[in-house]
Amino acid sequence: MNEYNPHRHAEGTQEDRHPQPHEGTNPPKHTNYFNLSGRTAIVTGGLGLLGQRFCKALADCGAQVAVVDLDQAKVEDFAHELADSYDTYCIGVACDVSDPESVARMVDAVVGQQHHIDILLNNAATKTDNMGEFFAPFETYSLTQWRKVMSVNLDGMFLVAQAVGKWMIEQNTGGSVIQTSSIYGELGPDERIYEGSQYLGMPINTPAVYSASKAGVIGLSKYLATRWAPYGIRVNTLTPGGMESGQNDCFIQKYANRVPLGRMGRPDELTGAVLYLASDASSYVTGHNLIVDGGLHAW
């Protein structure tokens, strides 16, 4: 790794206590900023709509990717696909991010095979199996459903960040943590766009639990950014706008009308942001919320 000076000093100036990128060496060429060769990246939610694209982008830039999701056979198959396509070492590890013991086993498995962790893309999220309950009105939303979503979307973020962060501190070579949020962690939903809108054939909205959990991710990232800065561990949030993923034409058009670029996003349009935050290109960026939403926030 060349992102951080691996030595920390217990005493000395504030500058001494912070690992300095490229200290004592020539900065990398600009064309090499996104080179992740030799770095290990964990991607939770690695089989999801966004997770698969993130894994491919990281592997394409040379990272050794640990694909993390619920199904062991599927994560292994996808890891093999990545390894074959991008000629890099990848593994698949099953993990329920809402279960502390499962998270601990996942980190042990990654360290056991890769020996270090340089990048964490904390990306797992859930809508739960019962979409009717997930999209229920706020006034009748069940506490059980609320807790199911929170257990993954926020508790899972906490558990994975905690377990990986401990290891990054111990290995003492810095690292990059990227946590996925949503524009609805920053903005309230415009209920007008949901009139006549459907997702996979059923009426949709943005549930309060989704907004609350994603807002929590942004707050957690800022907290960890300041706490882990002395160890050279950068923590940032990636906040995507709406992505096309099975919504009907009514929703897509109404959403697009609220976006200056006039359309919903495509998952591949997030990979550049991921590579920026994962790599030396963002070596002086921490505590930031990188919003990729086609300009929706500008209105």
Which of the residues are catalytic?
Answer: 210
Q: 292 — alpha (psi -120 to 50), left (phi > 0) or beta? A: beta
Tally Cβ neighbours within 10 Å of residue 54. Answer: 28
Q: From the CB of residue 257, how many other CB atoms can be counted at a distance below 10 Å?
A: 11
User: How many helices and strands in the chain, by DSSP H and E?
Assistant: 9, 9
The packing angle between helices 155-171 and 100-114, to 10°, is 30
Structural tokens at position 71: 């199904």
In sequence order, what are the residues at sequence separation of 6 or more whose Cβ sits closer than 8 angstroms to the Cβ of residue 284? Answer: 21
What letter represents residue 276's amino acid? Y
C-alpha span between 256 and 183 (Å, rounded): 14
CA distance 255 to 269: 17
- Pairing mode, strands 64-69 and 91-94: parallel
